[in-house]
Amino acid sequence: MKNPFPYSDTNKRYHTLDYFYKQKFHSKVFKVSLNAGFTCPNIDGTVGTGGCIYCSSSGSGEYAGKKEDSLEKQFEEVKEFMLKKWPNSKYIGYFQAHTNTYAPLPVLKEKYELVLSFPNVVGLSIATRPDAITEDCLDYLEDLSKRTYLTVELGLQTIHEKTSLWINRCHTLSCFEEMVKKLRERNISVVVHIINGLPGETKEMMIETVKYLNALDIQGIKIHMLSILKNTKLGKIYEENPFPIISREEYIDIVASQLEYLRPEIVIHRLTGDPKVEDLIAPTWITKKVTILNDIDKMLVQRDSYQGKRVKKSS
For 150-163, the pLDDT digits (tens) are 999 999 999 999 99
Alpha-carbon span 154 to 165, nearest angstrom: 17
Cis peptide before 119 (omega within 30 of 0): no
Cβ atoms within 10 Å of 256's Cβ, excluding its own: 24
Judging by DSSP bridges, how do beta strands 280-282 and 228-229 pair with one another?
Answer: antiparallel
Q: Which amino acid, 231?
A: N
pLDDT band at 71 (very low <50, low <70, confident <90, very high): very high
Alpha-carbon span 235 to 251, nearest angstrom: 20
State the architecture of 17-302 in CATH terms: Alpha-Beta Barrel (3.20)
- Structural domain spans, the chain: 17-302
pLDDT band at 225 (very low <50, low <70, confident <90, very high): very high
For 98-146, the pLDDT digits (tens) are 999 999 999 999 999 999 999 999 999 999 999 999 999 999 999 999 9
* 148, 123 Cβ separation under 8 angstroms: yes
For 165-200, the pLDDT digits (tens) are 999 999 999 999 999 999 999 999 999 999 999 999
Alpha-carbon span 30 to 28, nearest angstrom: 7
Cβ atoms within 10 Å of 232's Cβ, excluding its own: 21
CA angle, 164 as apex, 139 and 250 as ends, to 5°?
A: 115
Is it the case that residue 248 has pLDDT exceeding 50? yes
pLDDT band at 93 (very low <50, low <70, confident <90, very high): very high
Higher pLDDT, 230 or 86: 230
Alpha-carbon span 223 to 209, nearest angstrom: 11
Give counts: helices (H), strands (E), the chain: 10, 9
CA 290 to chain centre: 18
Judging by DSSP bridges, how do beta strands 189-196 and 280-282 pair with one another?
Answer: unpaired
Cβ-count burial of 162 within 10 angstroms (0-12 exposed, 13-18 middle, 19+ buried)?
exposed
Is it the case that residue 45 has pLDDT exceeding 80? yes
Higher pLDDT, 215 or 79: 215
What is the chain's percent helix, strand, coil content, to nearest 5? 40, 15, 45
The predicted pLDDT at position 155 comes to 96
Q: Which amino acid, 124?
A: L
DSSP state of 113: H
**Closest to 187 (Cα-Cα) out of 117, 138, 124, 153:** 138
* 190, 145 Cβ separation under 8 angstroms: no
Mean model confidence pLDDT for the chain? 94
Is it the case that residue 276 has pLDDT exceeding 50? yes
Is it the case that residue 245 has pLDDT exceeding 50? yes
The predicted pLDDT at position 58 comes to 58
CB neighbour list of residue 227: distance below 8 Å, 6 or more residues apart: 54, 273, 275, 280, 286
Which segments of the chain does DSSP mark as H helices, in order?
17-25, 71-85, 105-116, 135-147, 161-166, 173-185, 203-214, 233-240, 248-260, 289-302
The predicted pLDDT at position 315 comes to 42
